[in-house]
Amino acid sequence: MAIKKLYVVLLRLITSTDGAYKMTNRDLNLMVGVGLQLEKDDSGARYFVELLGYSVGEGVIISAPLEHDNRLSLVTGDEVTVRYLGGISQYAFKTQVTHISTTPYLHVHLEYPGGIEATMTRRAVRMPVKESVIRLAMDDDGHKWPVEMKNISLGGASLVAPVKLSGLGERFSIDMPTMSPDNKKAVTLPCVVRHISTQRQGEVSIYHHGVEFIDIDSLARDFIGRYIEHRSAG
């Protein structure tokens, strides 16, 4: 089976310089539906999940991370590290699984972190980004399909398309130009599909895909960090 490719149609970026420091903060400052990267402390296994909700000082609720055979990858008491990107900082906190619920659907409760570590990843001249999504085109055996990237983090992204891009556990890649001065540099984001849901819009079905990035390199991390920074500035 050929690996599918997603190519960027529209994107705006500028360059920036590095700079870092650390701070702590108890407020997650996140919107429901944002992608998070969850890492099990005992095995180092990483999963892409979605934030379903949280209450400061009480708890965090996330979608259930599943293995390739759809088995739940967590049990109550598991210690995990959660990472996400916001503005010009990368955030991380340690927590543990307090409860796993199957009603009304499978989801996981985490203990609210006692502290959140934030690392400033870069300083940059900011500019507004007017696009609400990144618009992509999927090339699948000669067929072109419009794809929207609703959100992106270091852990993964949310993709919306009129067709199912891949099955659960299947892999494809997203190719993005960096808009460098020579127009030659590009980043490749290897993905694995972790979640698929369907939404009806009249007579048409729209497919929502939660994808996890697999082993992205430093160029891709730099690309994602700059893009999120510019979106936040807008």
Please give the pLDDT value at position 125: 29
Nearest to 118 by CA among 20, 220, 230, 217: 20
Residues 6+ apart with CB under 8 A from 222: none
Flag whether pLDDT at 143 surpasses 70. no
Tokens found for residue 122: 């870069």
Flag whether pLDDT at 1 surpasses 50. no
The amino acid at residue 156 is G
Please give the pLDDT value at position 60: 94
* 226 vs 54: which has the higher pLDDT: 54
In this prediction, residues 5-28 reach a mean pLDDT of 41
Residue with tokens 């009480």: 58
Residues 6+ apart with CB under 8 A from 103: none
Quick check: pTM over 0.75? no
Per-position b or e across 70-104, b if 16+ CB within 10 A of its CB: eeebbeeebebbbbbbbbbbbbebbbebeeeeeee
Cα–Cα distance for residue pair 141/134, rounded to 1 Å: 22
* 54 vs 20: which has the higher pLDDT: 54
Flag whether pLDDT at 20 surpasses 60. no
H-type helices in the chain, by residue range? 218-233
Q: Distances from the Cα of 187 to the Cαs of 103, 158, 177, in angstroms?
A: 40, 18, 6
pLDDT category at 14 given cuts 50, 70, 90 is: very low
Which domains can be identified in the chain, with CATH numbers? 5-16+125-233 (2.40.10), 22-120 (2.30.110.10)
Contact present, 11 and 128 (Cβ < 8 Å):
no
pLDDT tens digit sequence for 93-108? 999 999 999 888 889 9
Least confident of 17-21, 202-206, 210-214: 17-21
pLDDT category at 77 given cuts 50, 70, 90 is: very high
| Burial class of residue 202 in the structure, from the number of CB atoms within 10 Å of its CB (0-12 exposed, 13-18 middle, 19+ buried) | exposed
In this prediction, residues 155-181 reach a mean pLDDT of 77
Flag whether pLDDT at 59 surpasses 90. yes
pLDDT category at 185 given cuts 50, 70, 90 is: low
Least confident of 16-30, 85-99, 106-120, 214-228: 16-30
In this prediction, residues 206-227 reach a mean pLDDT of 79
Please give the pLDDT value at position 144: 65
Beta partners for residue 204, in sequence order? 201
Average pLDDT, the chain: 72
Q: Distances from the Cα of 157 to the Cαs of 43, 122, 134, 153, in angstroms?
A: 23, 21, 11, 6
